[in-house]
Structure 1
Amino acid sequence: MPAIKAAPLLLGQHLVRLTEDGEIRCRIVEAESYGGAEDKGSHAYGGRRTNRTDVMFHTGGTAYVYLIYGMHHCFNIVTAEKNDPHAVLIRAVEPLTPRDAQLMAAYRGTAIRKPSDLSGGPGKLCRALRIDRSLNGLRLDQPGGPLRLESGDDPRSLPIVQAARINIPYAEEYAGLPWRFYIRDNPYVSAHDSKAEPFIWTENRP
């Protein structure tokens, strides 16, 4: 499935991380789509296939984890068929229970003054869930796996908005496209855009 269709469908779904301290369960509340070889914001723009981007060319349902600035991991979900490099960057999650929030805060290892400090942003999310390159290439549909996706809320029941993606000026005419989707007013979202528009579900669009 193209990333632009997959991203809103991922909102409300549960992301489960198995750690040495037990499972952490959270809900996806913000996702950003990267639309394959034609998207100038994508690592795979122009069909670029390197050791880093190879996972993007795997079958949908695979984890793509990379490192930025030499210190922050980012977690993506590959969404399309093999050799069609679409991926959705998961930008924010919301813990499902106080225990989940407590474990995530312990892994973050810093003061949490507001919800978005915990898991609002790709790097914060990965630190809170202990996601790193060791999970790159992992299938996310394995029951009992160390990182997996499970059904959560019906995304059509959620107040979803769409806005421009964040920090990709190099994407030129693709930089301003409204390919970031999030749950309106959710406090865990990394950045609320005053120009965000309601996402409208249609028959031809997921």
Structure 2
Amino acid sequence: MKLNREFYSRNTLTVAKELLGKVLVHNINGEKLKGIIVETEAYLGIRDKAAHAYGGRKTKRVEAMYGLPGTAYVYLIYGLYYCFNIVTEKEGVPEAVLIRAIEPIEGLDLMAKNRFGISYDNLTKYQKKNLTNGPGKLTRALNIDKALNMIDLCGDRLYLEEGDNSEFNIVETTRIGIDYAEEAKDFPYRFYIQGNSYVSKL
């Protein structure tokens, strides 16, 4: 079952935790690429020094964060990698959850070709483990780029589904790569499924 707007229209930290175990789907001309979300990071907008909208910043880049909950916020880092985020709370409140890692479950051949230019069966063990275990890796594998910025995740192209409701433990820890964010770098806003091999960093 596809997640609806109400799922995203809640407290950002709650959504970040409950996204774990859900399935991210990119429907590309009828071929579906799917992965179980295993790692997320929450960004609490205006009051979070690590967030792009800290202090109420409004630029073209962060426009998506002020949109409806369930909107995709896709941006480029280091001029090389796209990061995929999901807008939360309510329209006008610039908070979002970064999807940091997924466990690939469907469309593996196309994911492998997107990432490495070869079929999944020809990947090395190292390449298979590194297929989607990071925010820039998963967007490349799932072919998520700036063209999908501000897309409605309640539509039929890029969306999320319920998982299989498997039980797992959630680890809560600090976010990665935000040393500039002063005290905010120590906030425990990163969440991941304990023991999953696709988590980007333990």
Normalised to the residue count of structure 2, the TM-score between the two structures is 0.88
Runs of 4+ deviating beyond 6 Å: none
**Residue 39 of structure 1: aligned partner:** 48
Matched residue, 1:102: 109
Alignment of structure 1 residues 7-86 onto 2, 5 Å = 7-20=16-29, 22-86=31-95
The 1:31/1:95 distance shift into structure 2, 3 A limit, reads same
* Per-residue deviation, 1:151: 1.2
Query: Corresponding residue for 1:122?
Result: 135
Structure 2 alignment gaps of length 5 or more: 1-9, 118-122
Instruction: Tell me, yes or no, if structure 1 residue 162 matches structure 2 residue 172.
Output: yes
Partner of 1:178: 188
Q: Find the counterpart in structure 2 of residue 148 from structure 1.
A: 159
CA distance in 1, matches of 2:52, 2:80: 18
Shift of 1:51: 0.3
**In 1, Cα distance between the equivalents of 2:66 and 2:164?**
28
- 1:129 and 1:2 map into 2 onto residues whose CA distance is 27
Aligned residues: 187
Whether the aligned pair in 2 keeps the contact of 1:16 and 1:24 (CA below 8 Å) is: yes
Q: Distance in 1 between matches of 2:40 and 2:83?
A: 12
Q: Would the alpha carbon gap of residues 18 and 95 (structure 1) be closer, same or farther in structure 2, given more than 3 Å must change? A: same
2:14 corresponds to which of 5, 12, 19:
5
Percent same amino acid among aligned pairs?
48
Greater mean alpha carbon deviation, residues 101-110 or residues 182-191: 101-110
**Deviation sequence 1:97-126 (CA, Å, 0-9, x none):** 4xx222211110266515441001110010
1:125-136 alignment, distance < 5 Å = 125-136=138-149
More moved, 85-94 vs 108-117: 108-117
Q: Distance in 1 between matches of 2:30 and 2:143?
A: 11
Contact 1:116 1:189 in 2 (8 A): no
Aligned to 2:120: none
Given residue 81 of structure 1, which amino acid in structure 2 is its aligned partner?
Answer: K
Letter in 2 for 1:177: F
Q: d(CA) in 1 for partners of 2:56 and 2:171? A: 30
SS at match of 1:29: strand
CA distance in 2 between counterparts of 1:135 and 1:116 reads: 26
Instruction: Check if 1:190 corresponds to 2:194.
Output: no
**CA RMSD of superposed structures (Å):** 1.5
Contact 1:162 1:180 in 2 (8 A): yes
Unaligned runs of 5+ in 1: 193-206
Offset at residue 30 of structure 1 (A):
0.4
* Letter aligned with residue 127 of structure 1: R
CA distance in 2, matches of 1:114, 1:161: 25
